[in-house]
Structure 1
Amino acid sequence: MPQPQPSAAPHRTLVLSGSLRAGAVTTQVALAAVAQDRPEHEVILAATLDQLPLFNEDLDTEPAPPGVAALRAQVSSAGSLLVLSPVNNGSISAALKNALDWLSRPRDDSPLAGKPATGLVIGYHSHGAEAHLETILRATGARTTPAPTPVLSPRAVTGNQTAHDPKVTTVVAEVLAALSPPRTRH
């Protein structure tokens, strides 16, 4: 009698929300991504970025500061990253930039090196923030996958149920599909 094949481990996408405010649209979009968790594609929300000190090479030691170590471990265990940012003054949030600075270290063993990542910015006008996010992700060594829709405008969202808005869930589903590894046929 043939033995059952162990099921393959699910692909894991870690979602980084670049907003520190609990009710932020960016965080609601992150929660919409987590709501699309499936047995074959696990989607988890990263630890909040407010636990990270401002990047300072004097603090970049072993062991790393606790919040930094925890985030690095989450990124290391993920198969891909969905990086979300509000548009702040035409760029990404300072909190997200700080997290990416920490994650780009240690330079020779960064958890971002070669990691598939897609960025999505949330704002009424992007002012090129999506290009900044793409540039920063590439500079960290992440392997970027362009988002089918790199900018999500809150104007497209109806009411204050962002996580359940069909426009949001459609964009998030497209982005997660872009991060999913190709299915193999047997």
Structure 2
Amino acid sequence: MAQENLPSILALTGSLRAQSYNSALLRAAVKNHSGKVSINIYDDLARLPMYNQDFDNENPPPEVVELRGRVAAADGLFIVTPEHNASIPAALKNAIDWCSTAPANGIMVAKPTAIAGASPGAFGSARAQIALRQILASIGSDVLTKPEVTVFQCHERIDADGNVNDPFTLSLLDDLLGALTARIARG
């Protein structure tokens, strides 16, 4: 629940996997953030119907109404994405599609947005983040460029219980959320 007078950030992960490294990264960022901000997690990507322009009208599916409402109400977005075939997962792209069309009333335009990601591989979701930056830029989101948080070999930094055990990763996440909070404060 949002605290009064604090900026609000809606956080979401592009992963649907129960034991997702990226969901663990998102939870660690929220838990360990040292700033004054209210962070709420949206974890219903799996419930969203696939984007279909035939249903993108004045009466969209209720799951879409809920997501759009939460995105519109947030002062900023924090998106953590895995890498699927050198890009972002379909579920994340689907959510962005629902939130970026004309019936969504520009809720993502100029919305301060921070991104991060993790991968067991050597690139730490860097290619997915490039694709995500391109998508967000095309719809006019205000995407932070620094710090970049690409957690490579994440299986060495996130334990079996989903805890981030690497102080450097935790500090990067805190810096990223601090930068997002500062961007929101600047308006």
**Does residue 55 of the first structure (1) align with residue 51 of the second (2)?**
yes
Q: Distance in 2 between matches of 1:143 and 1:74?
A: 17
What amino acid is aligned across from residue 28 of structure 2 in structure 1?
A: A
What amino acid is aligned across from residue 102 of structure 1 in structure 2?
A: W
Q: Distance in 2 between matches of 1:139 and 1:96?
A: 15
Hey, what does 2:37 align to over in structure 1? 41
Structure 1 residue 37, shift from structure 2 partner: 5.6
Hey, what does 1:179 align to over in structure 2? 180
Hey, what does 1:104 align to over in structure 2? 100
Q: Is the 8 A contact 2:21 2:155 kept in 1?
A: no
CA RMSD of aligned residues (A): 2.4
Within a 5 Å distance, the mapping from 1:81-120 to structure 2 comes to 81-106=77-102, 109-120=105-116
Structure 1 residue 20, shift from structure 2 partner: 0.8
Hey, what does 1:140 align to over in structure 2? 139
Q: Distance in 1 between matches of 2:93 and 2:158?
A: 29
Hey, what does 2:160 align to over in structure 1? 160
Matched residue pairs, number? 178
What amino acid is aligned across from residue 72 of structure 1 in structure 2?
A: R
Task: Specify every segment of 5 or more residues in structure 1 that has no aligned partner in the other structure, as ranges.
Answer: 1-6
TM-score normalized with structure 2 length? 0.85
Structure 1 segments of 4+ aligned residues over 3 angstroms from their partners: 36-39, 161-164
Within a 5 Å distance, the mapping from 1:123-138 to structure 2 comes to 123=119, 124=121, 125=123, 126=125, 128-138=127-137
Q: Distance in 2 between matches of 1:72 and 1:58?
A: 17
Within a 5 Å distance, the mapping from 1:10-29 to structure 2 comes to 10-29=6-25
Q: Distance in 2 between matches of 1:36 and 1:63?
A: 39
Q: Distance in 2 between matches of 1:105 and 1:183?
A: 23
User: Which secondary structure state, in structure 1, belongs to the residue aligned with residue 39 of structure 2?
Assistant: strand
Q: Is the 8 A contact 1:122 1:152 kept in 2?
A: yes
What amino acid is aligned across from residue 7 of structure 2 in structure 1?
A: H
Residue by residue, what CA displacement relative to the aligned partner does 1:71-103 show, whole Å, maximum 9, x if unpaired? 111111111111111110111111101111111
Q: Is the 8 A contact 1:14 1:45 kept in 2?
A: yes
Q: % of aligned pairs identical? A: 29
TM-score normalized with structure 1 length? 0.85
Structure 1 residue 9, shift from structure 2 partner: 0.7
Q: Distance in 1 between matches of 2:163 and 2:52?
A: 35
User: Which secondary structure state, in structure 2, belongs to the residue aligned with residue 128 of structure 1?
Assistant: helix
Structure 1 residue 121, shift from structure 2 partner: 2.3
Q: Distance in 1 between matches of 2:184 and 2:26?
A: 24
Structure 1 residue 158, shift from structure 2 partner: 4.7
What amino acid is aligned across from residue 159 of structure 1 in structure 2?
A: D
Hey, what does 2:70 align to over in structure 1? 74
Greater Rg by CA: 1
Structure 1 residue 168, shift from structure 2 partner: 3.4
Instruction: Identify, as 1 or 2, the structure richer in helix.
Output: 2
User: Which secondary structure state, in structure 1, belongs to the residue aligned with residue 81 of structure 2?
Assistant: strand
Hey, what does 1:3 align to over in structure 2? none
Give the direction of change, closer, same or farther, for the CA distance of 1:74–1:182 in structure 2 (3 Å limit): closer
Q: Distance in 2 between matches of 1:19 and 1:149?
A: 19
